[in-house]
Amino acid sequence: MPKITYLDYNATTPVRPEVAARVAALLAEPHNASSVHFYGREGKKYLENARETIARAVNAFKNEIVFTSSGTEANNFVLRAEASRRILVSAIEHSSIVKTVPDAERIPVDSRGMVQVDALAEMLRKEQKPALVSVMLANNETGVIQPIAEIVKACRASGVDTLVHTDAAQALGKIPVDFSGLGVDMMTISAHKLGGTHGAAALVLRNDLPIKPLLTGGGQELGRRAGTENVAAVSGFGLAVELAMQDVAQQARVRGWLDTLEEELLAYSEGAIVFGRGVPRLPGTTCISMPGVSSETQLMSFDLANIAVSAGSACSSGRIESSHVIRAMGYDNAVATTAIRISGGWNTTEDDIRRIAAEWKKLYDRVGKRAAAASHA
């Protein structure tokens, strides 16, 4: 297998070696945390240790952590449980939000990708009906960090009975995530976005908030989510969170390397755009357009050079589609279809960033310049 320069951490991170070792060891044992025998008690201990670690990391109570199989399940859990409410979601939400409630009202964003809080407040005031507002903490495509505490404040000030949910799957392990401090009612987090495995995520749920379970059956997770817990993956989730909390310096390094990359590519191509530049963004995320060159062409070219990046969200069954996030920011389809996302994390090196910078310039010289000349002919 060739050496791949992996820069698609927002799709999924490489599993940390310590996590892989723990998950493999636990998979070799028959843990069911609901059983009363030795293996059941051991499974319960691993489960509760992870719950405590994660609760501490996000400043929540231990009993506010409800384990799920994925961030998508957690998002569906919230939206389907509160379906009787008026639902408002930002125009840049993940597909697990927008496709679950396709007729939800869309909260607009500005050209930088920031939710317009005043517009949300006006939308709430127009209809005095119990509402659910869902705005992600950090966008998966642009990395733009949203003013969630300000959004919560606006919702409370509206006088409308409003629950607030934030999808923080991309944020945990990269920036501080404070469930209590943000003031939200519900929050989604996920293991595989920070070095854990697939199969483990959580809905952080205010402990005085009743919610109708999405899955019913055995009464696990204090009756809020039925189904035998994935002890191995959940334990790995806890360990991944613990390791990520110790890795702040690496996040700062990656941001520095990406800042240099952005400056270099913007200087190299007059028409390139870095989406969300100038507002707070995740340390490991850059979303940039290559003028005149489609996202599909870029992805194929980088793939041939053994570089893995993506065009926006990875949740489109392998299809490359025009980004609804970039279009929501006011850019036309011609620009949206030239954007790629470069995302790094715990195992990214400066050489990885230098490598994609060099390949980006080669592709622009080969295709982009010709396209620019043709458009001016």
Active site residue 287: no
Spatial CA neighbour of 71 closest among 235, 308, 315: 315
Strand partners, 274: 288
Number of H helices, E strands in the chain: 14, 11
Tokens of 31: 């843990």
Tokens of 124: 């709430």
Question: Which among 27, 119, 226, 315 is annotated as catalytic?
Answer: 315
Tokens of 132: 């659910």
Handedness of CA 204, 210, 212, 213 (dihedral sign): positive
Question: Cβ distance 284 to 143 under 8 Å?
Answer: yes
In angstroms, rounded to a whole number, what is the distance separating the alpha carbons of residues 359 and 367? 12
Handedness of CA 155, 108, 324, 195 (dihedral sign): negative
Residue type, 170: Q
In angstroms, rounded to a whole number, what is the distance separating the alpha carbons of residues 21 and 12? 18
Q: How do beta strands 201-205 and 186-190 pair?
A: antiparallel
Tokens of 16: 């940390």
H helices of the chain, in order, are 17-27, 38-58, 71-81, 95-98, 117-126, 148-157, 179-182, 231-245, 248-268, 295-304, 324-328, 333-336, 350-363, 369-376
Helix (H) or strand (E) holding 32, with range, is none
Spatial CA neighbour of 70 closest among 94, 40, 37: 94
| C-alpha distance from residue 175 to each of 40, 66, 157, 178, 188 (Å) | 35, 21, 27, 10, 15
Positions marked active-site: 315
